[in-house]
Structure 1
Amino acid sequence: MSTRNEPLLVAPDWGTDALAVVDLTAPEAPEVRFTTVGRNPRAVAVSTDGTRAYVVDHDDETLSVVDLTAPEHPVLPPVPTGKGPCGVVAGLVDDQICVASADGKVEVFDKEGRGGQALTVGTGPCALAAAPGGGARRVCVISETDAKVSVVDVGRAGAPSVSASVSVPGVTRAAAVAPGGRFAYVASRGEGTADGRVTVLDLDADGAAVGDPVPVGAEPRALAIGPTGDRLGVANYGSASVSVAPVDPDSGRVGTPDTVPAGAHPVAVAFAPDGEVIHVVSQTSGLLTAVRTDTLDHMVVPLGGVPAGVVFGPDGHHSYVTDQATGRLTVVRAAPRKSASIPAGEGSKPVDVAVSPDGTWAYAADSASHKVAVLDLGGLAPLAPVPLGATHQPWGVAVAPDLGFACATSPDSSHLLVLSPAQGSELTANGEVTVTPVQLASGARPYGVAVTPDSRYAVTADSGTATVSFVDPKGGTHTIDAEVVGCQEPTGAALSGDGRTLYVSDFASTPEGQQGGQIAMLQRTERGEWQQQGVIDATTGHLSGPHELALSPDELRLYVANYQNGTVSVLNRDAVGAEWGHEMTVTKSPTPLKRPNGLALSPDGTTLYVSNNTSSHGTVEVFDVSTAPAVHQRTIQIVIRPDPQLAVNVGLALSPDGHYLYAADAERWKQGAGALGTVYGIQLAAGGDQMETVATAPAARTDRPGALVCRDDRTLYVVNQGRKESPDPREACLAVITLDASRLGVESTESRPLDKDDLPYAAAISADGTLCVANFTSRTVSVFGSKVTPVPVGEPGASQPWDVAVTADGAYAYVTDRTADSLRCVRLSDHHVTSLDVGRDPMGVACAPGGPRAYVANHGSDSISVIGPDDASPGTPKVIDTWEHPRVIKPEALSVSADGAWLFVTTENSGDLLMLDARTGTPRFTVPAGERLTGSAPHPQSAKHLVYLADEAGAAVSVVDTTTLAPLDTTTPLGLDVRQAVGMPTTN
């Protein structure tokens, strides 16, 4: 048997005496082909297998049979019918079809229109109805003239009979037969009342009425039964409404209808294929009303013109409406609905979901099975999960925008699990992933997690310690304790390229000119902890007040500036890991170096730059260290000092490409209050013997700079010691200077706090970006590396941080505090915390795209707080509104659509997704999407109209199509009457 393989919509085109065959392969842009049939086609039906269309030609008194399998849709020879045929139904037993004619007769034909069997029914039959789905054994014939419903039995092919004739006063053409074929529902105008009625007939009992007629609205014009037989929808022409009622499929009884307002004069009603939505079109008002069958939420969209009918396409996401005045077919997007579920694994309890930036895959935190589920969003299928270890039960999950890492919180173990791809690659749905547990503070119990827009930090809300933790897989902040460093006066530092070996110089004051001090060697373990591996003592290293250090690119040479005796010690070893020994001493003659403390080494390891304190200048002495002894090459002047008795202690840094040299002078020889300090620079290849000013206090955030390093060729880190003494004390800080294109000027600066009670000295940076600062006073080393920076946002016991979101501009992390009824606003630039009073027990928080706007779910007060900019204090947030609505009950989690138009809300122990207008807070849709919804994540592309929801009780991630009701611009000029149209899915 021939079949077709595309979804179609067919309808009679009374304007051109044709059958319109609409190809719905591209549902938003349907293609139409016309096939000429007889004159004045009135109705159409389609065979069960979708290969034949049947059109009754009223004026020609014929039946046209159209072959839908052939490309041109040819018409078979016309079949004579009774006088004025007006209705046809197909899908009967053995593919029979039934035709009704105005002369009071019906005829039953086989699939090809042969073997007509005529039967007499009531006067003026006007409509036919049979059970959907094929194999219908009975046909209900509506005769409006004599108010009768005739039941035609077609259970035996070739032997039809009239099994019953039932009087229904005021009967209209609105009738339908439920799936299964037992019960028929017939609308009537009613007698002695303005209300209409729906009568239920039991076709297995010769059309006996089931209970009393059910009252609906005035003048019911159209009636539809839901695809599973459990809902009834009636378009009430006279009362501008649609009646929606529950139906018991077993008994056929109709429950009490609910009345939903519609536009004036509704004339057609249709259920979506999944039964969740009803579309009703209103003739004189030109409106379409969409009604959710479960909640009765409804929304109206104007279509214009004079809409005559509506039918859904087989995908359920679009309906098609004809305009009686213009003959146009309008495509209408359906209202939001659950479209799929992706299983997360047997026994799983997904509580949060994060979507990849391109929207092709997602991670779901599975709290029951110690894993992160991986989901293919294109194929709507699970992939191989990522195991996290038996001690880790994930809760929150997030993916970095640059796909450099993902992370999941583990509240019970107080860890953040970092999921990293292979070195140099990005996360993919099925790529190899390494899981690294990062220990947060004991008892932190992190729940919510977010990643900053620059993919630098994962931010966790620590419910147990009243903190927000900033975790940077590529470099965070922590301190190596004095006991581990083992130095009396740390002044210098050097790092291996991989950031795992740290050398710290210990000045250990001795009389000038005498040996003294040491170099501590520290190693970082796989867990990120530091351990001392030994020391290089003064004798071995020929040390005398060691200050800054420089490590050669091959890590086989270590240079030490000896501040006390004016030399540089060069240490060497045969291989990485071998013992260090003294190779040579670098000095200058006939005028020796004086108080050298700054060192820099060229990228090839052949040129050494040493700061020098001459009688009238601060200089840089340049040595060729490729030979022994080293050879002095040139002198570069930094600054002229007015008093030869005052030292100029200069830190040095060389750009990674070796082209620019920078120096930092604390300017302690200057008088006056306020910040002091200047950063100098020189382009080495340009020659010259004088550095020029690059940045100076106070504009450049330099304040007694003691050292500097080059993060890259355009970024300087400057260690500022500040001022401890009165009357003008200032705290130490780290200045981050971004250079302009010349690399000798400043583009921008920012400041990051250092320990306010310490005296930071030299700094070192590794190839992976780990920055270390030696702290003279506390005898510690601050490491801006791969550890955690906790920021207190409340008081332990009195605060319970729960969820976290980061603003699109990266300015703030917003953290809900359930116990304190506050939103904690952490400014990312300096970790300054402000608090905003919101509702009771705030749980979820979500940021809108493109700005500071955010939303807070107040679980205890059934409300949503709206966060926006404070006009009185630019750049700071405040509560600008509070939304309350009867549908917002115990909200828990929030997310915002990619275009910022919709706020998605999940509520306690609910399987419904609540969609709010993100501008006004007005609830627009309630979408049943699972059993117990928790976290949600919208598709990153707003055109996709999808949101993914973790269904904790349903062991799945639900997919909701959030497309809102709207007519498309695509219209097709027809003359069809879609009240008789039929939509067909693809056949196999």
Structure 2
Amino acid sequence: MSDPNEPLLVAPDWGADALAVVDLAAPERPEVHFPSVGSNPRAVAVSTDGTRAYVVNHDDGTLSVVDLTVPEHPVLRTVPAGNSPCAVVAGLVDDQVCVAAWADGEVVVFDKEGLQGGPPLRVGSGPCALAVAPGGGARRVCVIDETDATVSVVNVSQAGVPSVSRTVCVLGVTRAVAVAPGGRFAYVASRGEGTADGWVTVLDLDADGAVVGDPVPVGAEPRALALSPAGNRLCVANYGSASVSLATVDVESGRVGTPDTVPAGAHPVAVAFAPDGGVIHVVGQTSGVLTAIRTDPLDHTAVALKGVPAGVVFGPDGHHSYVTDQATGQLTVVRAAPRKTAGIPAGEGSKPVNVAVSPDGTWAYAADSASNKVAVLDLSSPAPPAPVPLRGTHKPWDVAIAPDLGFACATSPDSSHLLVLTPAPGKELGSDVTVTPVPLAPGARPYGVAVTPDSRYAVTADSGTATVSLVDPKGGMHTIGAGVVGCQQPTGAAVSKDGKTLYVADFANTGEGLEGGQIAVLSRIEPGQWQQRTVINAATGHLSGPHEMALSPDELRLYVANYRNGKVSVLRRASPEGAWAWHMDIDKDPRMVRPYGLALSPQGTTLYVSSAAGDKGTVEVFAVSADAATHRRTIAVKDEALVPPGLALSPDGRFLYAAVSEKSRDDDQALGTVYGIELDAEGSAMRAIATAPEAYTDRPTGLVCPDDRTVCVVNQGRKDAPVREACRAIITLDTTRLSVSGTKKLPLDKNDEPYSAAVSDDGTLCVANFTSGTVTVFGSQVTPVPVGEPGASQPWDVAVTDDGAYAYVTDRTADSLRCVRLSDRQVTSLDVGRDPMGVTSAPGGGLRAYVANHGSNSISVIGPDDTSPGTPKVVVTWPLPGITKPESVSVSADGAWLFVTTENSGELLMLDTRTGTPRFTVPAGERLTGSAPHPQSAKHLVYLADEAGAAVSVVDTTTLAPLDTTTPLGLDVRQAVGLPTTN
């Protein structure tokens, strides 16, 4: 059996005495079958259920009934149908079929299987065309009597007893007629008395064909007409005036409005509406031109075809039309012009302002600015959305999806948050997600958001703080492997201000006597990737069991605490790129014991060293601004401290903190205390400010101060029974900075045996792992990059280049495009048009991008600067005559089309990305604010957020073009019929 849901097209093949059955399952390359029928087939009709085709054979005077339910499409029977039959219609009451016998002046009515239901019925002279209401169950047939210039209205409401209700005279010769949906009104085109005028007469079939109003004037020599599927538009092909007349129709009264005239190719002979009624295709016989006309607004585009096109019909998907060449019978497939094809509701009362499509194009997120929800839309059907609640007062503005589908995100300007949506482990991103609000800077007001191609960062444009925020939804955690670190027993870490250079102290005894250990110097080559640059060995650095380190503010001195020999090694280099060499040792009398922790003042003039002489934990303070260090004071921390404390200094240098481990005790409870002291206050002893287990301090081995109110403590936990997990304790201090206002913990791996930590100015935290030989890196979750001055800048939209090199951010107040190089956060500014709003990057890699200049009605094109490789510049600015206030831009997946929405407009603009020429204007909604093309270029779809329409509009952006043809046919598409599917 043939699949009744597969779309088919049938047409008479007069050249081969066959019926051409065209399978449209692959619409751009249809497959054609040719069951033989009678001689010189002229017309075809299809039963309402699509199981039978009826072909009238002009020279045989017969009707062939063809079975469409099996692949061979056999002829079930051929029966007499009068002399010179030339027209047939089906889908009448009780599935009757009506045939016009031109030479007899009669019509003959059959039942569904082609058996005659009654004697021939006399109509006017030369019946040449028939028309009935679409959809089945038609009660009347309009018969065009060519010789008489009349229309006979035949009543077929009683099967087997047809009768002529009325014969109506029209103005001159006619061959074109159409019946409206519902079957009440018929529209007849006629030539008039001469060739300079044409008319359309409206008949009320419920009144037996009474004329409705006066005939409506159209162009010269109307040859064909068609009604839209809704019956509210009428299109007439004016053969003598190279035009079509397009008019509105009142579906209640049947009256035709004043027609508009649209140019078409010379001698138009056929017209067809797309199934949605939005596009009309017209073929010009002698010009070989197909004209595509959009019904609202009226605009048209032409494309040249080969040969002598004779007819046109749309396939059921509306994406393609099919045109035949009268001279050769060749079938040409034509892609339809761009148009809106659907609207996916975003939920009642919603105001979707931006939309993001999943990488496979099966679903989308729509940001609903009227609520605290993101709508999850199934792009395969107009089903109700599955909302994702964002909690609290978060109202989304823009949405983005990570290419690897690991997360999605939405900006919330009013609450200055980025909402990160993550699926459960092992699940896919969609509606079942966890929403995590990530706070940005107070007053950030983020609008645009994009995700880097490697799915590492979400990048926001912060309109309130003149920043671009790089948000790592995973918290920035990664591990530098032991093979890269190259250390046996990492115990200490120091990191440069920019977080790109890491020093790792290796406690391992690699020499003789007290000498031993090394320092590995690592460089970050890109986010999450490091390589070892050099190694400072024990001899070069005078190392002896190195532990914590401190880097001077100018990064030309490196201080290393040597646990074994009781000294601090000072290394020096001449320049930031120079080699390290030993400069001096720091010790004291009596000597320090097991120096462990180090901290250096912000000015680099005072060094704090922890010691455990006499098993008393102290901090020894040295002045180190001169070439020889001078001991200044001793700060007591704790008696009976076998292991000296780790040290950390607040960034402003006012408070010193120490973590005491008490590792040797076997207590079941967590052990460890954090001490603190205000350095300028009276007293020489620290006081306990955070203790286990309340502060989550459990065998602490190192600590850092990311800011003046936070202490981050590295805790080893316990590997032996009773086992306790390692963790980071995040201690928030109160205004005194010597009391705790809050704590939380984040897990570490106890099997790595984490030791000391270091933090860079950008918030990157590095933890050296003693057992595994690795370093764990916790990048800052939010890294703000200033791109302007608050109040003088308004970052709005953001796009990331396909190669991940730059984030482009429009700055509406500064009339600039801010280009943030993501590798080093360097910002360059490009002058674009006034009030730039939307920005998008072109696919295919590189720096090309497009900026919508809202205030100057133009598009700026960004590309590579030939004089400075790897940097962007403004290549050209395209003015948009007649286009006002562009807001958003996006690019098709193949890079061919630029999609633009404009302020308070429901139209989508399509521009050629090579030239900036506006090619199409597509009505697609009420108030379009953002667009997202389908990620697969072959789909030719773009999805648009319609803020006023509470929906996401779907636009098919397929451009008007003829495709490859099938084998030559002798068919006439003027008589072609598309089969209804039964699904």
Shared topology, TM-score over 0.5?
Answer: yes
Provide the residue aligned with 1:539 in structure 2: none
Provide the residue aligned with 1:81 in structure 2: 81
- Alignment equivalent of 2:804, drawn from 794, 798, 810: 810
* 1:489-518 deviation per Cα after TM superposition (whole angstroms, max 9, x unaligned): xxxxx9xx9xxxx99999xxxxxxxxxxxx
Aligned-partner Cα distance in 2 for 1:857–1:171: 55
For the 8 Å contact 1:806–1:812, the answer to whether it is kept is yes
For the 8 Å contact 1:376–1:429, the answer to whether it is kept is no
For the 8 Å contact 1:285–1:304, the answer to whether it is kept is no
Percent of aligned pairs sharing the same letter: 76
Aligned-partner Cα distance in 2 for 1:505–1:854: 41
Q: 1:211 to 1:77 in 2, by over 3 A?
A: same
Aligned-partner Cα distance in 1 for 2:914–2:333: 27
For the 8 Å contact 2:347–2:385, the answer to whether it is kept is no
One-letter amino acid matched to 1:935: G
TM-score where L is the length of structure 1: 0.71
Provide the residue aligned with 2:815 in structure 1: 821
Provide the residue aligned with 2:597 in structure 1: none
Q: Are positions 1:434 and 2:429 aligned together?
A: no
Measured after TM superposition, the shift of residue 866 of structure 1 is: 2.2
Provide the residue aligned with 1:900 in structure 2: 895
Aligned-partner Cα distance in 1 for 2:503–2:894: 52
For the 8 Å contact 1:170–1:191, the answer to whether it is kept is yes
Measured after TM superposition, the shift of residue 384 of structure 1 is: 4.5
- Which secondary structure does the structure 2 equivalent of 1:25 belong to? coil
- Alignment equivalent of 1:406, drawn from 397, 405, 408: 408
Aligned-partner Cα distance in 2 for 1:965–1:922: 16
- Which secondary structure does the structure 2 equivalent of 1:151 belong to? strand
* 1:573-597 deviation per Cα after TM superposition (whole angstroms, max 9, x unaligned): xxxxxxxxxxxxx89876x449x88
- Alignment equivalent of 1:201, drawn from 192, 200, 203: 203
* 1:657-686 deviation per Cα after TM superposition (whole angstroms, max 9, x unaligned): xxxxxxxx998476xx88522699xxxxxx
1:326-365, aligned counterparts within 5 Å?
326-365=328-367
One-letter amino acid matched to 1:124: G
Q: 1:837 to 1:434 in 2, by over 3 A?
A: same
Q: Are positions 1:948 and 2:943 aligned together?
A: yes
Provide the residue aligned with 1:369 in structure 2: 371
- Alignment equivalent of 1:786, drawn from 742, 758, 780: 780
- Which secondary structure does the structure 2 equivalent of 1:819 belong to? coil
For the 8 Å contact 1:12–1:42, the answer to whether it is kept is yes
Provide the residue aligned with 1:960 in structure 2: 955
- Which secondary structure does the structure 1 equivalent of 2:807 belong to? strand
- Which secondary structure does the structure 2 equivalent of 1:275 belong to? coil
- Alignment equivalent of 1:318, drawn from 317, 320, 328: 320
Q: 1:447 to 1:130 in 2, by over 3 A?
A: same
For the 8 Å contact 2:367–2:373, the answer to whether it is kept is yes
1:138-537, aligned counterparts within 5 Å?
138-191=140-193, 194-378=196-380, 381=383, 384-422=386-424, 427-429=428-430, 433-475=433-475
For the 8 Å contact 1:330–1:972, the answer to whether it is kept is no
Q: 1:255 to 1:101 in 2, by over 3 A?
A: same
Q: Are positions 1:676 and 2:678 aligned together?
A: no
Aligned-partner Cα distance in 1 for 2:915–2:535: 65
Q: 1:612 to 1:849 in 2, by over 3 A?
A: closer
- Which secondary structure does the structure 1 equivalent of 2:35 belong to? strand
One-letter amino acid matched to 1:280: V
Provide the residue aligned with 2:661 in structure 1: none
For the 8 Å contact 1:945–1:961, the answer to whether it is kept is yes
Q: 1:263 to 1:770 in 2, by over 3 A?
A: farther
Aligned-partner Cα distance in 1 for 2:535–2:157: 105
Aligned-partner Cα distance in 1 for 2:267–2:275: 25
* 1:126-166 deviation per Cα after TM superposition (whole angstroms, max 9, x unaligned): 11112111122222221222222222222333332222222
One-letter amino acid matched to 1:429: G
Q: Are positions 1:106 and 2:68 aligned together?
A: no
1:536-685, aligned counterparts within 5 Å?
592-593=514-515, 598=519, 617-618=540-541, 668=572, 675-677=577-579
Q: Structure 2 regions of 5+ residues with no counterpart? A: 495-501, 523-533, 548-555, 563-568, 583-606, 608-624, 627-705, 707-713, 716-727, 729-747, 768-776
Q: Are positions 1:985 and 2:977 aligned together?
A: no
Aligned-partner Cα distance in 2 for 1:24–1:589: 84
For the 8 Å contact 1:548–1:597, the answer to whether it is kept is no
Q: 1:28 to 1:883 in 2, by over 3 A?
A: same
For the 8 Å contact 2:538–2:544, the answer to whether it is kept is no
Aligned-partner Cα distance in 2 for 1:648–1:75: 96
Aligned-partner Cα distance in 1 for 2:407–2:77: 68
Provide the residue aligned with 2:602 in structure 1: none
One-letter amino acid matched to 1:842: P
- Which secondary structure does the structure 2 equivalent of 1:26 belong to? coil
One-letter amino acid matched to 1:806: V
1:883-898, aligned counterparts within 5 Å?
883-885=878-880, 888-898=883-893
Aligned-partner Cα distance in 1 for 2:455–2:493: 34
Provide the residue aligned with 1:917 in structure 2: 912
Q: Are positions 1:24 and 2:24 aligned together?
A: yes
Measured after TM superposition, the shift of residue 261 of structure 1 is: 2.3
- Which secondary structure does the structure 1 equivalent of 2:77 belong to? coil
For the 8 Å contact 2:798–2:809, the answer to whether it is kept is yes
Aligned-partner Cα distance in 1 for 2:64–2:798: 65
Q: Are positions 1:881 and 2:876 aligned together?
A: yes
Aligned-partner Cα distance in 1 for 2:851–2:325: 45
- Which secondary structure does the structure 2 equivalent of 1:973 belong to? coil
For the 8 Å contact 1:138–1:153, the answer to whether it is kept is yes
One-letter amino acid matched to 1:439: P
* 1:163-202 deviation per Cα after TM superposition (whole angstroms, max 9, x unaligned): 2222222232122111122222122223456232222222
Q: How many residues align?
A: 767
For the 8 Å contact 1:143–1:149, the answer to whether it is kept is yes
Aligned-partner Cα distance in 2 for 1:42–1:797: 75
- Which secondary structure does the structure 2 equivalent of 1:943 belong to? helix
One-letter amino acid matched to 1:8: L
Aligned-partner Cα distance in 2 for 1:277–1:889: 25
Aligned-partner Cα distance in 1 for 2:827–2:779: 23
Measured after TM superposition, the shift of residue 963 of structure 1 is: 1.9
Provide the residue aligned with 1:838 in structure 2: 832
Measured after TM superposition, the shift of residue 800 of structure 1 is: 1.7
- Which secondary structure does the structure 1 equivalent of 2:206 belong to? helix
One-letter amino acid matched to 1:405: F
For the 8 Å contact 1:471–1:789, the answer to whether it is kept is yes
Measured after TM superposition, the shift of residue 12 of structure 1 is: 1.0
One-letter amino acid matched to 2:813: T
1:702-781, aligned counterparts within 5 Å?
773=758
For the 8 Å contact 1:840–1:860, the answer to whether it is kept is yes
Provide the residue aligned with 1:855 in structure 2: 850
- Which secondary structure does the structure 1 equivalent of 2:974 belong to? helix
- Which secondary structure does the structure 2 equivalent of 1:888 belong to? coil
For the 8 Å contact 1:219–1:236, the answer to whether it is kept is yes
One-letter amino acid matched to 2:110: F
Provide the residue aligned with 1:870 in structure 2: 865
For the 8 Å contact 2:541–2:581, the answer to whether it is kept is no
Q: 1:781 to 1:933 in 2, by over 3 A?
A: same
Aligned-partner Cα distance in 1 for 2:77–2:65: 8
Aligned-partner Cα distance in 2 for 1:887–1:770: 66
Aligned-partner Cα distance in 2 for 1:78–1:291: 41
One-letter amino acid matched to 2:69: T
Measured after TM superposition, the shift of residue 300 of structure 1 is: 2.1
Measured after TM superposition, the shift of residue 852 of structure 1 is: 1.8
TM-score where L is the length of structure 2: 0.71
Provide the residue aligned with 1:635 in structure 2: none
Q: 1:168 to 1:466 in 2, by over 3 A?
A: same
